Amino acid sequence: MTRLTPRVGVTGRFAIAAALGALTVGLLAMFAVDRYATAALRARVEASDRDLAERIAVGFDDQILRGIAALKREGQAEDLLTLDRARATPALAAALRAPSDYAVLTLHDRMGRAIASAAAGSLADPSRLPTRRDVVDRVRADGSAISVASGRVPTMEIAVAVESPPGTVVGVLIAEMSLEVVGNTIASFRVGRDGSASLLDQQGATLVHRDRGRVVRSHHVEITPSVASSAAFTRIDRQDGQEFIVSVAPTKVFPGAVALERSIADATGPVSGGRRNLTLIVLISVAATAVAISMAARRVLAPLKPLAAAVADLGSGDASARAPEPKRGDEIGLLSVQFNRMANALEERMTDLRGTNHRLADAQQRLDDAFTNAPIGMAMLSLDGRLQRVNQALLDLLGYAEDAVLGGTFEDVAHPSDVGRGGPPGGADPGDAGSVSGIEMRLLRADEATVWVVMNISIVSDAEGAPVQLFAQIQDITDRKAIEEELRRVDRAKSEFVANAAHELRTPLTAVSGFAELLNHRDTMSAEDVAAVCAGLQRQGTRARILVERMLDLLRIESGTIATTLQPLPVDAVVRSALALAPAPDDRTVEIALDPDLVVVADDVALEQVVSNLLTNAYRYGGRAIAIRGSQSNGLVRIMIEDDGPGVSPTTAAHLFEPFNRGRDVMGPGSGLGLAIVRKLMASMEGTIRYEAREPNGARFVLDLRGHRGQGPRG
């Protein structure tokens, strides 16, 4: 998530920009003011110095005049020259060269006060020389040197050319520097300690420091004609570290020049002060500008904050987020309005989408439910046949838990004989057109039981039609298969029955048709023969009829068209009426041994038929003595019909109650259906019949039927 609070906001940027702008403006102003101030100051200093130089020059001239006048008064300056400037210089020079000449030098400060004076002349008497309080030899940074006299130096200095005749001692003040202005130039000559002098060039002034005649340093000052009337500044750094401005101005009265020295500190003092003030002003204005700009910016940008908040809210899903609509119509206000319109449209769309999503989720849910709750097994498989999703019906069908099945294939649970019949359509190639339906195969359940299923597999494609999954429906058809099998069996049985029946009919019909045909020749037959034929016809016809009747009986019982009414019946009575239906032949005896109170729940007609059939069977296949016994226990009535005949072999006994099974070891014209009918009749009365061998020999048929409750449990 990107930071939503800017590190340096618009306000900040504006403030910084404004501050930088103000700073730039301020610095430029300072620079300009500085230069202007310096220039103004310089001009002012120049002007004042010029003025001062003038005054000093005048004063100096004045003093020199007075000095000279004093000298004159004292009678020492007889041959002082007049102060005619035009001739002054050579005259002065000449006068100063005179061996007996002397000059009085006076140093004045700005105020015109004499600072020091010196006299030059023959110094036969050194004690007449004025003394200096202090003489400082200064070597200027530019190489010039000036001897200064006075403790108040360095406010002002005057350099004067002095020449002393050879041999004279020029007191302790040695003006090592001299400037002489000749006309518009300066000419100078020098007097050294050793009395040597030199003449400088006339184009400028070279300040030369000599020591014992050797030039130690020199500094040249250009003096132009215009300078003669103005002051020329030279900046000079003195040995004691102070800075000075030297200006040279010509004296008016006396040919010479006045050099003014002024401390830079003094001169620039006001400028520094001014500069400091200016710096302060600039800083304050920068700060004020920054503050003003940032306040303005903040005001302008204020509506952006709620707009940003609204955007953030909208972004995190709150469709109702809106920005406050501004009163004024600037760009930010417009942005807020546009944002709100966009938010409105978005909200609408979101509501639509939500609705669609709900419907989709709904549909998906219903589909899922349909899948999960479907009554037949369903599965989603990958294209290579792996189970990805199964429903409960399929799990129930297979008897596995879900996690045992997912990831596997149908082949894993297929019956070994049916492996390969299931699986994805067309093997692993999903490109095969379409689905497979109606595959019948067996699957093995978890409990090893087999289920028959019919499987339909279809291909699920995506929107572009590419196959993505397989959908399988699996239906348990075990019951249907069982029914089909049963139907087949019943069909077979029916066919067999029909075949057997037809087969059984062949013999009597052969006899009937044969006898009938024989009767065609009755004319050639004896009466006994004819009688025998007729009797045979009758017998076989009856036999055929009975056979058909019994078959129909069997069918009727099976199809349930014979109604049985179960009611309590006295066993004794039923047995006796059955005996009446099937009376014993002469060579047989039938013994009835049962409790006369024995009551059974049965159908009277059916039970009668059962007993009579069994009696007939006994007469046909059994022995001489036949017995009918009855008993009851635990609500069950048991009737037994037994004989002492040959009985039935075990192999025959196994199929005894099946239709048409007379067995190989019995003879006779029975229909072969008697016992089958008996079994069906017993079943229709909810009873059972079974055969058991009688010891030592004979057959016993055991009938079990429901007893009547009224007799009590012990019976």
Partner 1 sequence: MGKVLVVDDESDLSLMVRMALRMAGHESLEATSGEEALEVLAGQAIDAMLLDLHLPRMDGWEVLQRVRADPACRELKIIVMSAHSSPGTKERAAHLGSDAYLTKPFALEELTNIVASALA
Q: Residue 669 CB, nearest distance to partner 1 (Å)?
A: 7
- Contact between 461 and partner 1 by CB under 8 A: the answer reads no
CA dihedral 462, 466, 469, 473 (to 10 degrees): 90
Of 30, 666, 683, 702, the one binding partner 1 (CB under 8 A) is 666
Q: Is 524 in the site for partner 1 (CB under 8 A)?
A: yes
Among 540, 564, 612, 632, binds partner 1 (CB under 8 A): 540
3-class secondary structure for 513-533?
HHHHHHHHCHHHCCHHHHHHH
**Minimum CB separation from partner 1 for residue 694, in Å?**
21
Give CA separation, 116 vs 63, 85, 179, 248, 509, in Å: 12, 24, 18, 20, 192
Report the candidate in 543, 705, 703 with the shortest Cα–Cα distance to residue 634: 705
Q: Which stretch binds partner 1 (CB under 8 A): 15-23, 508-516, 606-614, 617-625?
A: 508-516
Q: Is 268 in the site for partner 1 (CB under 8 A)?
A: no
Tell me if 510 contacts partner 1 by CB under 8 A: yes
Q: Are 688 and 680 in contact (CB under 8 A)?
A: no
Shortest Å, Cβ 558 to partner 1: 25
Secondary structure (3-state) at 490: helix
Q: For residues 201, 206, 209 and 214, what is the CA-based torsion angle, rounded to 10 degrees?
A: -40
Question: Rule CB under 8 A: is residue 514 a binding residue for partner 1?
Answer: yes
Q: Which residues pair with residue 442 across a beta bridge? A: 452
Min separation Cβ 691 and partner 1, Å? 19
**Which window, 85-93, 280-288, 535-543, 562-570, contacts partner 1 (CB under 8 A)?**
535-543
How crowded is the C-beta side of 498, counted as CA atoms within 13 Å?
5
Partners of residue 451 on adjacent β-strands: 443
* Smallest separation, CB 656 to partner 1 (Å): 16
Selected binder of partner 1 within 237, 517, 549, 591 (CB under 8 A): 517
Nearer to partner 1, 539 or 706 (CB): 539
Query: Under the criterion CB under 8 A, does residue 518 sit at the interface with partner 1?
Result: yes
The string over 125-155, giving b where at least 16 C-beta atoms fall within 10 Å of a residue's C-beta and e elsewhere, is eeeebeebeebbebebebbbbbbbbbeebbe
Q: Is 655 in the site for partner 1 (CB under 8 A)?
A: no
Q: Which is nearer to partner 1, 514 or 623 (CB)?
A: 514
Q: Which stretch binds partner 1 (CB under 8 A): 107-115, 178-186, 479-487, 662-670?
A: 662-670
Judged by CB under 8 A, which stretch of 191-199, 401-409, 430-438, 521-529 contacts partner 1?
521-529
> Could you say which of 507, 631, 649, 661 contacts partner 1 (CB under 8 A)?
507
**x-or-dash string of contact with partner 1, 44-83, rule CB under 8 A:** ----------------------------------------
- DSSP label at residue 433: S
User: What is the total count of residues that contact partner 1 (CB under 8 A)?
Assistant: 26
Q: Which one of residues 134, 330, 396, 665 is an interface residue with partner 1 (CB under 8 A)?
A: 665
Shortest distance in whole angstroms from residue 517 CB to partner 1? 5
- Please pick, from the candidates 293, 533, 557, 637, the single residue that binds partner 1 as defined by CB under 8 A: 533
How far apart CA 608 and CA 266 sit, in angstroms, is 164
Binding pattern to partner 1, positions 462-481, x when CB under 8 A? --------------------
Q: Is 506 in the site for partner 1 (CB under 8 A)?
A: yes
CB 377 within 8 A of CB 394: yes
What minimum distance in Å lies between the beta carbon of 498 and partner 1? 14
Contacts of 228 (CB under 8 A, 6+ apart): 181, 184, 250
| Burial category of 330 from C-beta neighbours within 10 Å (exposed 0-12, middle 13-18, buried 19 and up) | exposed
Angle at 465 between CA 463 and CA 470, to 5 degrees: 100
- Asked if 531 interacts with partner 1 (CB under 8 A), we say no
| Closest separation in Å from C-beta 525 to partner 1 | 8
521 is an interface residue for partner 1 by CB under 8 A:
yes
The 667-686 contact track toward partner 1, x by CB under 8 A, reads: x-x-----------------
Distant-in-sequence, close-in-space partners of 463: CB < 8 Å, separation ≥ 6: none
| Residue 539 binds to partner 1 (criterion: CB under 8 A) | yes
DSSP 8-class letter at 710: G
Residue written as tokens 């409990």? 447
- Contact 691/699 with Cβ under 8 angstroms? yes
Stretch that binds partner 1, among 242-250, 252-260, 331-339, 509-517 (CB under 8 A): 509-517
- Which of residues 20 and 516 has its CB atom nearest to partner 1 in the complex? 516
Segment near partner 1 (CB under 8 A); pick from 150-158, 311-319, 519-527, 701-709:
519-527
- Please, are residues 40 and 274 in contact by the beta-carbon 8 Å criterion? no
Among 102, 515, 619, 657, binds partner 1 (CB under 8 A): 515
Q: Let me know: does 198 contact 213? Beta carbons within 8 Å.
A: no
Q: Which stretch binds partner 1 (CB under 8 A): 413-421, 435-443, 622-630, 659-667?
A: 659-667
- Decide whether 132 or 662 has the Cβ nearer to partner 1: 662
- CB-nearer residue toward partner 1: 265 or 499: 499
Q: Where are the alpha helices (DSSP H) in 316-458?
A: 331-373, 392-398, 402-405, 410-413
DSSP code for 168: -
C-alpha separations of 23 from 17, 296, 297 in Å: 10, 19, 19
Q: Hey, what amino acid is at 250? A: P
Contact 628, 643 (CB under 8 A): no
- Residue appearing with tokens 């056979």: 547
3-class DSSP assignment, residue 270: helix
Which is closer to partner 1, CB of 654 or CB of 667?
A: 667
511 touching partner 1, by CB under 8 A: yes
**Binding residues for partner 1 (CB under 8 A):** 503, 506-511, 513-515, 517-518, 521, 524-525, 529, 532-533, 536, 539-540, 664-667, 669
